[in-house]
Structure 1
Amino acid sequence: MKYYALEKKDSKAELYIFGTITTYPWREKDKDAYSIVKELSELDADEIEVHINSSGGAVSEGLAIYNVLKNSKAKVITYCDGFACSAASVIFMAGDERVMNGASLLMIHNAWTYGQGNAAELRKQADDLDTITQASVKAYMNCVSITEVEVKKMLDEETWIDADKAVEYGFATSIYEEKEDGTNQSAQMTIRNKILNAPVVVQQETLDTEKVAKKVVELLKKEEPKTGTGWGAFFNGGRK
């Protein structure tokens, strides 16, 4: 399965990242971040929708894609269509709008690697991992409403974040929910709020009951059949 696809129609483009974000495109039979960044940099679009369903991958690749999207002049809307884990969660942060589906998840954790070498080399690798993780922290901190200490605690604990928590913490800006009638829940809420918050203007008028009664009598007399002895007879004191 291809993990990358870029489609453009008129002034709008759609980027799909489904699968592993890899440094080895020949393994995925697709493109690495260099190719993606090149295409996005040359893209002439007013809006880019980024659909993500990925368990993550190489941090370097994720950061490169994040940065080119973040620096784009186009409006960027990122969608978590399933999972946006690890490096994919960083790409998700590039959106001016960041939309979770109701049944989608983010997962954030510290950068990790396989290690080998002597003690000094392993200590350096640990320091390097801290530096690499900090780059991701900066991407999260550009969006979230929680503190850096809280973000780092979540990274330490390898935290899964559902749609509601993602919005609460600021990782996401909204939740997309498709209703049975095909309407978007957020659109319904917008309309509902406008209706509920709209000022209600009540105009009071004094009712002239005598005038209304006369009008009713006139209409009833007009509609009565000539041979009838109904309402007309009643209003005329029983006379035909």
Structure 2
Amino acid sequence: MESGIATFTGPLSTPPRPAAAAFLRHSGPIFSQCHNNFRHFFPITTTSTSWAGQNASCGRSKGSLRVKALNHSLTSKWEVSNYAAPSWLPRFEELDTTNMLLRQRIIFLGSQIDDTTADFIISQLLLLDSEDQKKDIKLFINSPGGSVTAGMGIYDAMKLCKADVSTICMGLAASMGAFLLASGSKGKRFCMPNARVMIHQPLGTAGGKATEMSIRIREMAYHKVKLNKILSRVTGKPEQQIELDTDRDNFMNAWEAKEYGLVDAVIDDGKPGLVAPIGDASPPPKTRCGIFGK
């Protein structure tokens, strides 16, 4: 084998058999005519008009027949390193919405908060903070809540960032989702006009032995006190009121969440903006709805 050239050798001392020689003598013109017809209907473009010189060579050397044929390989004839995609095609990284949002310093929390989600959000917060500590990081939240420990990990990462973390509620921010919404940088916590916010005390179950149940109950009580202290600090309300208001599921609309101190402003309906509302938003009109109206 010679650099992509296939070499076939065979002894010439043994003459061809009579039957084979007769077959080749009579079928030669037929094969030649078929080859010409094929080239007529399926023209093959070559780099040289010399077929014998470029693509094949036949010769006799020391009693052997030697045939050489070019063997095109992908590495030699199918170069793709210099290939340029058309300008209208999107780049590979643009097909991932997460990467495109990160370019705008936007993080989206749109699922239940667990350890996997927390690791993902924390890594994005640390990445954006390391790139530029003077530009805001925008955290959009649409989450029903989840693990308290995972949510506290995100909270600590938000406080670790030197860049301001602006929070925006879209859809629903409940439980730990509402806690993270209220934990954004002061003056940069926003809520969309149709979003809902819900706060309550930590939920959990305890089973097994009495000692194991007491350990779980103490842990839940610790998280309850810890969350109430932080909510009291970010909302400006006393801990006693926070404890009373979170005793049951406490749902609020955007304007009630603003009045409570969970957010700083409501992004006005019909006036788009990423983090800053344009003009003062007005609350929806009061309506009477069956037994719920007053």
Q: Which TM-score applies when normalising by structure 1? A: 0.66
Give yes or no for contact 1:67–1:94 (8 Å, CA) kept in 2: no
What SS does the corresponding residue of 2:235 show, helix, strand or coil? coil
Q: What letter is aligned with 2:118? A: A
Please tell me whether residue 8 in structure 1 is matched to residue 102 in structure 2: yes
Give the aligned partner of residue 184 of structure 2: 95
Residues 189, 110 of structure 1: alpha-carbon distance in 2 compared, 3 angstrom cutoff:
closer
1:50 pairs with 2:139: yes
Are the equivalent residues in 2 in contact too, given 1:66–1:93 (CA < 8 A)?
no
1:18 matches 2:110: yes
Do the aligned residues in 1 keep the contact of 2:183 with 2:234 (CA within 8 Å)? no
Partner of 2:213, secondary structure, is helix
| Matches of 2:272 and 2:142, distance apart in 1 | 23
Deviations 1:127-182 (A, max 9, x none): 21010122222331221132111111111122112211211111110011123xx4
Matched, 1:86 2:175: yes
Mapped partners of 1:58, 1:76: distance in 2: 21
For the residue of structure 2 that corresponds to 1:15, the secondary structure is strand
Contact 1:5 1:17 in 2 (8 A): no
Residues 1:175 and 1:21: Cα distance change in structure 2 (over 3 Å): same
Aligned length: 176
* 3-state SS of 1:188 partner: coil
Deviation string for 1:25-48 (max 9, x for gaps)? 4xxxxxx32343233223223211
Secondary structure of 2:161's partner? coil
Q: Distance in 2 between matches of 1:113 and 1:85?
A: 16
- Structure whose alpha-carbon radius of gyration is higher: 2
- Aligned pair 1:168/2:253, yes or no? no
Kindly provide the amino acid, as one letter, of the partner of residue 165 in structure 1: E
**In 2, are the aligned partners of 1:51 and 1:79 still within 8 Å (CA)?**
yes
The counterpart of 2:157, out of the listed 26, 48, 68, is: 68
Q: CA deviation at 1:61?
A: 0.9
Deviation at 1:186, TM superposition (A): 4.5
After TM superposition, list the pairs within 5 Å mapping 1:1-240 onto structure 2.
5=98, 7-9=101-103, 12-23=104-115, 25=116, 32-43=117-128, 44-45=131-132, 46-96=135-185, 97-179=188-270, 182=271, 186-189=277-280
- Provide, for residues 80-135 of structure 1, a one-character-per-residue CA deviation record: whole Å limited to 9, x for no partner: 10111111112112211110111111111111222211223222221210101222
Letter in 2 for 1:173: D
User: CA contact under 8 A between 1:36 and 1:65: conserved in structure 2?
Assistant: yes
The one-letter amino acid paired with 2:110 is: F
* Whole-Å separation in 1 of the counterparts to 2:209 and 2:181: 37
- Normalized against structure 2, the TM-score is what? 0.55
Q: Percent identity?
A: 23
Change (3 A) 1:50 1:120: same
Deviation at 1:74, TM superposition (A): 0.9
In 1, Cα distance between equivalents of 2:266 and 2:191: 5
